[in-house]
């Protein structure tokens, strides 16, 4: 019977464009704003450097902390560089690093959660104790200790941000996986002698992927806030590279004049993270978990 | 009562055990690269003999487990070593800063907790209304805003444009109450911004969770008004989750303090820790990290105990 039904549903599956359109119309207004912001910043990160009107490091304006003009839409920074070009390039660092770190954190967290769920009690107990301890270290404190110990080159920052948010992803993933593990169909698969890896991959993982994706979005926001916070303190991305946090830091002297150079990168971070948050909040309930601590 | 006490003691034991694990994690991370400390203090041009001598003096040539035990012993007895940057006892440095950080945290809590509870309970009572949806989008956005943006904009508005408040928190020795309030206004405002949003969201979720219970339906059916239902029926049962939410949000304050203390040049433990990272002063950094972790665990423990005391059903588990 199932064989007869399966091809029919596949044929009835709408095209990608149609599904995208349906997804768009299913979102409330706040979700659409969020999605638009996310798409905008991802596009800026991918295409930004090609669209940038000036070279990132080049000093092109006659004066520092200029206001908006036709030549420099967002004015100039503390050295007379073009702010728009720098924000576009900074967005690439911020979005790229955070995306990579969040993917890493969610993947490792999910993998460990699955391991804990399908392995014996001892593995679960040991992993959970360790992760609980790591969660008890406030994320910024943990990241600072790691930065002090290892340094803050870009690959290291990526690993540090990922390591900081693995425990959170693990905790969510484990609670999902442990519940799924008790389901009848998983028990049935276990009874027919399937291996642990098969159970984790085929029976448990597909059913926890949606909440984990929503959690991934939150991790992304946390990583953006963490990394830009570190850069703002001067402990994150180091010059000559600059993410959005570094841009705020290097231009703080323009704050007294209300310079665009300091406000724009800060606003860029805020619109990015707010966008992701609004989007996740608007997702259908089943795809989302209760939002807890950061 | 004895049962409750036993339960609380067990939670206390678990917290101490976690703190022990935390100390192990902090120590392991911060001393994965042994020997560096001596090399770094003396610089590139140091002779190998000088480096070896300093290593000896700092005890870096001993095996890691031994160093961990000694460090842990020092923490417990209140002597976490000497700062490498300025050769002062770490204890003195932290003792000088801790009251200031606690004052900042206390003021922030005093401002943010009542505000957050009011917002959370209000939006739970009128859930689905325009007010609730507006507050939802507002708090959702506020949670996602980095502290340094809030601080930057607050400084721009209140210190630069309006000139009402100082942009750096300098506390004179003998300040009047008015001066104190002015000095603390900006950091407290910045810290509260994110925390209020987070706490309000969790409070709303906790109260709504109770409002969807059968006993609330019963109360509504027998004709109790919506305000009474929320305040006298749902709220007492939501105390546990709400206290939990408050503790989690306040622990977020620990992280926020790192940015805020640095921006406003506030002499607290968090800015001390950032200095320790910049100068790679490991003993000081480790001690500061442990102060933060202990504070976090203490908050969670208090929330746990309050939840146990507030909900008799939790005592029989």
Cα radius of gyration rounded to whole Å, chain B: 24
Is the ipTM beyond the 0.85 threshold? no
Kindly report the backbone phi and psi dihedral angles of residue A61, in degrees, each rounded to the nearest multiple of 5, phi listed first. Answer: -95, 150
The C-alpha of B168 sits at a distance from chain A's nearest C-alpha, in angstroms, of 13
pTM value is 0.84
Averaged pLDDT for residues A167-182: 87
Tokens read off for B104: 């900042």
- Is residue B26 less than 8 Å (CB to CB) from chain A? yes
The more confident residue out of B306 and B61 is B306
Number of residues in chain B = 317
What is the Cα–Cα distance from A138 to B253, expressed in whole angstroms?
A: 10
The C-alpha of A5 sits at a distance from chain B's nearest C-alpha, in angstroms, of 38
Residue pLDDT, tens place only, B69-97: 888 888 888 777 777 777 788 888 888 88
The string of DSSP letters for A92-151 reads HHHHHHHHHHHHHHHHHHHHHHHHHHHS-HHHHHHHHHHHHHHHTS-HHHHHHHHHHHH-
What is the Cα–Cα distance from B61 to B48, expressed in whole angstroms?
A: 14
- Does A141 contact B248 at a Cβ distance shorter than 8 Å? no
> Which residue in B18, B136, B141 has the most chain A C-beta atoms within 10 A of its own C-beta, making it the best mutation to test that interface?
B141
Residue B82: beta bridge partners?
A: B89
What integer best gives the mean pLDDT of chain B? Answer: 81
- Is residue A253 less than 8 Å (CB to CB) from chain B? no
- Does B155 contact A255 at a Cβ distance shorter than 8 Å? yes
Q: How many beta-carbon contacts under 8 Å exist across A and B?
A: 159
Task: Name the A residues in 12-41 with CB < 8 Å from any B CB.
Answer: 30
Q: Is the dihedral of CA A157, A163, A164, A170 positive or negative?
A: positive
Name the residue among B152, B201, B254 with its Cβ closest to that of A138: B254
What is the Cα–Cα distance from B8 to B302, expressed in whole angstroms?
A: 10
What is the Cα–Cα distance from B95 to B255, expressed in whole angstroms?
A: 20
The string of DSSP letters for B269-291 reads HHHHHHHHHHTT-HHHHHHHHHH
What is the Cα–Cα distance from B260 to B254, expressed in whole angstroms?
A: 10
Give the orientation angle of helix B177-211 with respect to helix B90-125, to 10 degrees. 50
DSSP B77: T
The CA-CA-CA angle for residues A160, A164, A168, to 5°, reads: 155
- Is residue A282 less than 8 Å (CB to CB) from chain B? no
Name the residue among A134, A140, A225 with its Cβ closest to that of B25: A134
- Is residue B262 less than 8 Å (CB to CB) from chain A? yes
Contact list, B274 vs chain A (CB under 8 Å): 144, 233, 235
Residue pLDDT, tens place only, A175-192: 888 888 888 888 888 888
The C-alpha of B144 sits at a distance from chain A's nearest C-alpha, in angstroms, of 5
Residue pLDDT, tens place only, A208-254: 888 888 888 888 988 998 999 889 888 888 888 888 888 888 888 77
- Does B148 contact A266 at a Cβ distance shorter than 8 Å? yes
- Does A148 contact B300 at a Cβ distance shorter than 8 Å? no
- Is residue A129 less than 8 Å (CB to CB) from chain B? yes
- Does A149 contact B143 at a Cβ distance shorter than 8 Å? no
- The residue with tokens 């546990």 is B240
Name the residue among A150, A233, A281 with its Cβ closest to that of B140: A281
- Is residue B59 less than 8 Å (CB to CB) from chain A? no
Averaged pLDDT for residues B111-119: 91
**Contact present, B191 and B256 (Cβ < 8 Å):** yes
Name the residue among A141, A255, A292 with its Cβ closest to that of B289: A141
Residue pLDDT, tens place only, B170-185: 666 666 677 777 778 8
For A25, residues 6+ apart whose C-beta sits below 8 A from its C-beta are none
């Amino acid at each position: 019977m199932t064989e007869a039904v399966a091809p029919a549903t596949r044929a009835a599956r709408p095209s990608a464009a149609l599904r995208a359109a349906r997804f768009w119309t299913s979102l409330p207004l706040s979700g659409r704003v969020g999605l638009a912001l996310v798409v905008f910043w991802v596009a800026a990160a991918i295409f930004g450097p090609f669209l940038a009107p000036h070279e990132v490091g080049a000093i092109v304006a006659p004066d520092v902390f200029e206001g908006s003009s036709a030549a420099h839409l967002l004015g100039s920074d503390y050295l007379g560089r073009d702010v728009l070009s720098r924000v576009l390039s900074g967005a690439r660092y911020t979005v790229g690093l955070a995306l990579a770190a969040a993917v890493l954190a969610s993947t490792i967290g999910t993998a460990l959660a699955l391991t804990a769920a399908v392995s014996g009690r001892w593995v679960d107990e040991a992993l959970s104790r360790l992760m609980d301890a790591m969660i008890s270290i406030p994320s910024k404190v943990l990241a600072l200790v790691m930065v002090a110990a290892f340094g803050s080159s870009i690959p290291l920052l990526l690993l540090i941000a990922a390591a900081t948010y693995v425990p959170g992803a693990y905790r969510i993933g484990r609670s999902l996986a442990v519940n799924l593990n008790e389901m009848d169909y998983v028990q049935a698969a276990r009874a027919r002698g399937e291996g642990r890896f098969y159970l984790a991959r085929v029976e448990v993982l597909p059913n926890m992927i949606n909440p984990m994706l929503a959690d991934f979005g939150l991790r992304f926001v946390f990583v953006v806030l963490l990394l830009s916070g570190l850069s703002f303190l001067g402990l994150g991305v180091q010059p000559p590279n600059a993410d959005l946090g570094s841009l705020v830091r290097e231009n703080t002297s323009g704050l007294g004049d209300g310079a665009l150079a300091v406000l724009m990168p800060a606003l860029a971070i805020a619109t990015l993270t707010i966008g992701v948050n609004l989007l996740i909040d608007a997702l259908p309930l089943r795809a989302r978990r209760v939002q807890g601590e950061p | 009562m004895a049962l409750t006490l036993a339960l609380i003691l067990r939670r206390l034991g678990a917290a101490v055990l976690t703190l022990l694990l935390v100390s192990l994690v902090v120590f392991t991370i911060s001393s994965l690269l042994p020997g560096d400390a001596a090399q770094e203090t003396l610089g590139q041009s140091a002779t190998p003999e000088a480096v070896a001598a300093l290593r000896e003096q700092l005890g870096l040539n001993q095996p890691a487990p031994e160093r961990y035990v000694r460090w842990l012993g020092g923490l417990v007895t209140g002597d976490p070593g000497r700062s490498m940057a300025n050769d002062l006892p770490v204890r003195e440095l932290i003792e000088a800063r801790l009251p200031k950080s606690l004052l900042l945290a206390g003021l922030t809590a005093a401002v943010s907790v009542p505000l957050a509870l009011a917002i959370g309970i209000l939006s739970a009572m009128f859930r689905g209304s325009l007010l609730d949806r507006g507050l939802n989008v507002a708090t959702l956005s506020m949670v996602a805003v980095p502290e340094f943006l809030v601080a930057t904009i607050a400084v721009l508005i209140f210190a630069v444009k309006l000139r009402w408040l100082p942009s750096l928190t300098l506390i004179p020795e003998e300040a009047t109450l008015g001066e104190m309030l002015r000095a603390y206004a900006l950091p407290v405002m910045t810290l509260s911004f994110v925390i209020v949003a987070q706490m309000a969201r969790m409070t709303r979720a906790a109260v709504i969770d109770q409002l969807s219970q059968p006993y609330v339906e019963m109360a509504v059916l027998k004709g109790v008004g919506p305000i009474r239902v929320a305040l006298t029926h749902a709220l007492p049962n939501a105390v546990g989750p709400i206290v939990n939410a408050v503790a989690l949000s306040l622990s977020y304050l620990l992280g926020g303090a790192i940015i805020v203390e640095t921006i406003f040049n506030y002499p607290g433990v968090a800015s001390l820790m950032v200095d320790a990272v910049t100068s790679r002063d490991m003993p000081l950094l480790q001690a500061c990290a442990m102060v933060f972790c202990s504070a976090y665990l203490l908050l969670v423990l208090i929330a746990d105990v309050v939840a146990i005391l507030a909900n008799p059903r939790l005592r029989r588990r």
